[in-house]
Amino acid sequence: MTKASDGADWRPDSPRDGQNGGLRGRPSDRLDLTTSPWRGAFTAAGKHTARVRFLRGAMLVGAAIAIALILGVALFDPFRRLPRNISIGQVSVNGTQITVESPKITGYQTDGRPYEVKARSGLQDTTTPSILELSGIEAKIGMVDASTVEVTAAHGLYDGTQQKMTLQGDVRIWNRIGYDIRTKTATVDFERGSLMSDEPVSVILNGGTISANQMDIRDSGRKVSFEGAVKSLIEADSAGTESTDAPAHREK
């Protein structure tokens, strides 16, 4: 028989109980003389049921939380360490490599000018999450004078931590109203707003063209340096009439 450990300390019934004829109250008054083996059993059973009910609930809830945790870690953890703000299309995962359709990365350069990098597809290895291999790249970099420089390239490597991107394959950098630069490779440093290319480069400007072996654009367009066999053609303004300029683009 379960020994009622704490000894049911039944309170003497208040008259109110008595009236409603609770069976519980009246027999214990009369049978109080002996500690009946059943006396505590009822409450013990009650406690037991309560405990069982609690455990059952706890197990359910615990299982749900565990599943949520595992899912969370599995699904979101690799993305959590991606560059700040990235929006992605369809995602496919194989091994540690995630291929992302039409990724779009936006960020801000040190002085607050925006930049945005879009691509046809991006490949990321979860072991090096801040490196994105992009193909079919279109980037837009806000310049100091609020004009935007657009950059396109066949493919490139975007490093989120250093905010740098190296581009390869018919790289084109152009500013609608200023210049149109063509080269094979280029490295863009978004934070410093600089762009460097150590492959032959050709530039079409409004008033002429420049070609050289290397090019280095510093602090977002304030200084542009060309090196190695620099050839530049400056269209002389047509004599006499000052106003007309001859921005004829002559393909070199």
What residues make contact with other proteins under the rule CB under 8 A? 143-145, 147, 149, 175, 177-179, 205-208, 210, 212, 217, 220-240, 242, 245, 247
Q: Cα(222)–Cα(194) distance, rounded to whole angstroms? A: 10
**Count of residues in the chain:** 252
Residue pair 134/122 in contact (Cβ under 8 Å)? The answer is yes
Among residues 82 and 217, whose Cβ is nearest to other proteins? 217
Q: Least separation, in Å, of the C-beta of 215 and other proteins?
A: 10
Among residues 83 and 221, whose Cβ is nearest to other proteins? 221
The string over 143-171, giving b where at least 16 C-beta atoms fall within 10 Å of a residue's C-beta and e elsewhere, is beeeeebebbbebbbbbbeebbbbbeeeb
Residue 39, SS3? coil
Q: Centre a 10 Å sphere on the Cβ of residue 141 and count the other Cβ atoms it contains.
A: 24
Q: Least separation, in Å, of the C-beta of 201 and other proteins?
A: 11
Among residues 63 and 229, whose Cβ is nearest to other proteins? 229
Among residues 75 and 177, whose Cβ is nearest to other proteins? 177
Q: Which residues contact residue 183 at a Cβ distance below 8 angstroms, ignoring those fewer than 6 apart? A: 171, 173, 197, 199, 200, 201, 202, 215
Among residues 73 and 144, whose Cβ is nearest to other proteins? 144
The pair of three-digit structure tokens given for residue 156, joined into one six-digit string = 């490139």
Terminal C-alpha separation, the chain: 106
Among residues 130 and 175, whose Cβ is nearest to other proteins? 175
Q: Least separation, in Å, of the C-beta of 196 and other proteins?
A: 14
Q: Least separation, in Å, of the C-beta of 249 and other proteins?
A: 11
Q: Which residues contact residue 194 at a Cβ distance below 8 angstroms, ignoring those fewer than 6 apart? A: 188, 216, 217, 218, 219, 220
Q: Least separation, in Å, of the C-beta of 170 and other proteins?
A: 20
Q: Least separation, in Å, of the C-beta of 228 and other proteins?
A: 7
